[in-house]
């Protein structure tokens, strides 16, 4: 019986391996989709805050703030979002070819989600863990992280408790 069990195991191992690999690919694509959706929701909320909240809009009006942020994952089919701030306005596009002040390339959707949901938005820690590659001026990325954290604190009510 042991020989039959071994033969059965040998026959099913490639199938099990293939199923496991397909499962990992499916989860990876779902993570990318979830991360992109979450990023789009965050940016959409940020857009409305700039549009209707004059205090929040000061983040991009002071000093005529101009910057563009490219967020993407390493997978060519993954996340590709460009956010531009200019003339006190915010615009989002999927135009990944346009030049950007800062480009942030995440290892995968999970790394993007972890960065966006992190209470500290510590880009240096992400770089050290090889989850992110950046190019451009990181000071601009810190400004974006500040605005995103401000929104998160406001949504959870923690911002009003801090004041």
Every domain of the chain and the residues it spans? 33-162
Residue 70 pLDDT: 92
Q: In the predicted model, is pLDDT for residue 12 greater than 60?
A: no
- pLDDT tens-place string over residues 21-36: 655 655 555 555 677 7
Q: Which residue has the higher pLDDT, 124 or 30?
A: 124
What number of residues does the chain have? Answer: 163
- Specify which residues 90 forms β-bridges with: 85
- pLDDT tens-place string over residues 50-90: 888 888 888 777 777 899 999 888 887 777 889 998 888 88
As assigned by CATH, the class of the 33-162 domain is alpha beta
Confidence of residue 3 (pLDDT cuts 50, 70, 90): low
Nearest residue to 34 via CA among 138, 83, 106, 102: 106
Residue 33 pLDDT: 66
- Specify which residues 38 forms β-bridges with: none
Residue 20 pLDDT: 61
- pLDDT tens-place string over residues 135-148: 998 888 888 888 88
Percent of the chain with pLDDT over 90: 8
The owner of tokens 């989860």 is 27
């Amino acid at each position: 019986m042991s020989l039959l069990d071994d033969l059965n195991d040998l026959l099913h191992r490639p199938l099990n391996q293939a199923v496991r690999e397909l499962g990992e690919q499916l989860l990876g694509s779902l993570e990318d989709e979830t991360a992109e959706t979450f990023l789009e929701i965050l940016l959409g909320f940020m857009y409305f805050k700039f549009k209707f909240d004059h205090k929040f809009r000061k983040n991009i009006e002071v000093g005529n703030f101009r910057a563009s942020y490219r967020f993407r994952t390493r997978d060519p089919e993954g996340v590709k979002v460009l956010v531009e701030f200019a003339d006190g306005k915010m615009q989002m596009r999927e135009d990944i070819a346009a030049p950007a002040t800062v480009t942030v390339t995440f290892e995968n959707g999970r790394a993007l989600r972890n960065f966006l949901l992190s209470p500290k938005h510590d880009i240096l820690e992400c770089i050290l863990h090889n989850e992110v590659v950046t190019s451009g001026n990181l000071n601009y990325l810190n400004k974006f992280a500040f605005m995103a954290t401000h929104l998160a604190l406001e949504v959870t009510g923690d911002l009003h408790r801090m004041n």
